[in-house]
Amino acid sequence: MNFEIPSEWVEFGDALIKFVDREVAALEKEHRALLASERTVYTEDGRYAPEVLALRRQVRMRSAELGFYTALSAESLGGGGLGPQAAVYIQERLNAHCGPDRHLVQTVVLPSPFTNGLSPVLKHLDPAVLEAVHEALASGDKTMCFGLSEPDAGSDVFGMRTRAVRDGDHWVLNGTKQWITNAPYADYAMIFAVTDEEKARSGKGGKGGITGFFLPTQTAGFSVPSVIPTMGHLGADIGIVTLENVRVPDTHRLGPVDRGLTVALDGVNAGRLSMAASCLGLAEWALEQAVAYAKVRKTFGQPIGAHQAVQIMLAECAMDIYATKSMVRHCAWLVDNNLPATKEVSIVKASATEMACRVFDRAMQVHGGMGLTNELRLEAGYRFVRTMRIPDGTSEIQRRTIARRLLDGDTAF
């Protein structure tokens, strides 16, 4: 591996940070009264206030106009074609610079790699249908959600209860999806449903029995009755989706019938790598805050950074970050070179999300009482990275995948 960062990636990162610092930060300052409190960010039912949604759309479209929003998407979809190695570098850098809890930055300037923008899942969509929605998605004007998880089917995807039944040239969908990011605000949805009960139950034909569908969220029978606030927040971008006799044309199918799980994993794996890089960047941000504070906060007549107990916490953060950075870059290199990386993606996702929790915990400890306050954003980052150990496959599911690959003979590193 060559660990030198190509100049074009650096220049892209420089331009991206400049955009955030100049234009996005200016919007945040202008609308500080709106964005400073979750009581104004969200409405009483926990959804983003219309004014916040308008600002997020404005930032998305400006990011797309400048070439950032779709830069990490495949060239075959009309994106910038920056590959996994570039993507993890850029995600790491953006999060290390911006830190947590910025409603106009996270998943807005750069979209979730498989939920929004030119998602890799769209490669499986009928070309004519894709052409009709391409401009709206690429420009950031319209957004999507990815409906795989259910109340009883998270880690156990074959426990899925949503059903799709063929009816002439259409499919009729019924069921419930839960924990669906961006569901309350999406214009389009990628929904996965069981189309062959026997295959889904027995696993015949590999990952069979499930099919993906693409549909406008305005389709009759599609609704998002509620959002799901988590970790002390007053609102969320996560929602519950209900499907009641939703009719979807067969032309809106995502890939072959009964092969939807393979289609879904196209996106999920990209999401896991991106999540790892984001957690890496956030951990770097947290360590930077802790180091700076350790230099200026004094106890017993000297900076707390002179105390060995504090030094050990800082050093352990650095050890964690360095190890994770090496893993993330190596895993991205494997994916970029089309080499097997199933266990490596799982290793990186579990390791990075758990590492970020440890680093934020130590950074808060270094800050003492100040680390518990809202104004430093450390507690917001702590709550955020804690959530990352669950979506896109829990840490336990990642460990199961790793172990199964090892037992199947994949023991090379």
In a domain, 71, yes or no: yes
Q: Identify whether residues 267 and 254 lie together within a single domain.
A: no
Are the CB atoms for 345 and 269 separated by under 8 Å?
A: yes
Pairing of strands 188-194, 144-147: parallel
Q: Identify whether residues 272 and 329 lie together within a single domain.
A: yes
Cβ neighbours of 101 (radius 10 Å): 17
In a domain, 339, yes or no: yes
Read off φ and ψ for residue 11, nearest 5 degrees.
Answer: -65, -40
Residue, of 2 and 28, whose pLDDT is higher: 28
Q: Identify whether residues 166 and 134 lie together within a single domain.
A: no
Report pLDDT for 204: 52
Report pLDDT for 205: 47
Q: Identify whether residues 254 and 268 lie together within a single domain.
A: no
Tokens linked to 265:
């994993």
Tokens 């300037």 — which residue?
109
**What is the per-residue pLDDT across 361-378, written as a single tens digit (0 to 9) for each?**
999 999 999 999 998 999
Number of domains in the chain: 3
Query: Domain with 380 in it: what CATH number?
Result: 1.20.140.10
Q: Identify whether residues 26 and 65 lie together within a single domain.
A: yes
In a domain, 1, yes or no: no
In a domain, 413, yes or no: no
Mean pLDDT of the chain: 95
What's the mean pLDDT in 43-51?
97
Domain with 219, as residue range(s), is: 144-258
Tokens linked to 360:
């934020």
In a domain, 190, yes or no: yes
Tokens 């680390």 — which residue?
371
Which residues are CB-neighbours of 133 under 8 A, at least 6 positions away? 142, 188
Which residues are CB-neighbours of 52 under 8 A, at least 6 positions away? 34, 35, 41, 42, 103
Q: Please say if the pLDDT value at position 385 is more than 90.
A: yes
Residue from 405, 265, 271 nearest 340 by CA: 405
**What is the per-residue pLDDT across 68-89, written as a single tens digit (0 to 9) for each?**
999 999 999 999 999 999 999 9
Sign of the Cα torsion 208, 146, 338, 399 reads negative
Q: Identify whether residues 202 and 301 lie together within a single domain.
A: no
Query: Domain with 71 in it: what CATH number?
Result: 1.10.540
In a domain, 66, yes or no: yes
Q: Identify whether residues 387 and 274 lie together within a single domain.
A: yes
Domain termination residue (choose one: 138, 168, 203): 138
Q: Identify whether residues 383 and 266 lie together within a single domain.
A: yes
In a domain, 412, yes or no: no
Q: Identify whether residues 380 and 398 lie together within a single domain.
A: yes
Rounded Cα distance between 290 and 361, Å, is 11
Q: Identify whether residues 403 and 273 lie together within a single domain.
A: yes
Question: By 3-state DSSP, what share of the chain in percent is helix, strand and coil, each rounded to 5?
Answer: 55, 15, 30
pLDDT tier at 207 (50, 70, 90 boundaries)? low
What's the mean pLDDT in 135-151?
96
Rounded Cα distance between 116 and 108, Å, is 9
Report pLDDT for 199: 86
Report pLDDT for 275: 95
Query: Domain with 168 in it: what CATH number?
Result: 2.40.110.10
Please state the pTM of the whole predicted model: 0.95
Q: Which helix (H) or strand (E) holds 168?
A: none
Sign of the Cα torsion 194, 196, 197, 198 reads negative
Rounded Cα distance between 240 and 179, Å, is 6
pLDDT tier at 270 (50, 70, 90 boundaries)? confident
In a domain, 369, yes or no: yes
Domain termination residue (choose one: 199, 233, 258): 258
Domain termination residue (choose one: 138, 164, 193): 138
Q: Identify whether residues 109 and 161 lie together within a single domain.
A: no
**What is the per-residue pLDDT across 288-315, written as a single tens digit (0 to 9) for each?**
999 999 999 999 999 999 999 999 999 9
pLDDT cut 90: percent of the chain above it? 90
Residue, of 266 and 353, whose pLDDT is higher: 353
Are the CB atoms for 122 and 79 separated by under 8 Å?
A: no
Rounded Cα distance between 166 and 32, Å, is 50
Residue, of 268 and 189, whose pLDDT is higher: 189
Q: Identify whether residues 388 and 293 lie together within a single domain.
A: yes
Distances in Å between the Cα of 278 and the Cα atoms of 13, 77, 175, 381 are: 14, 24, 32, 12
Tokens linked to 98:
């911006």
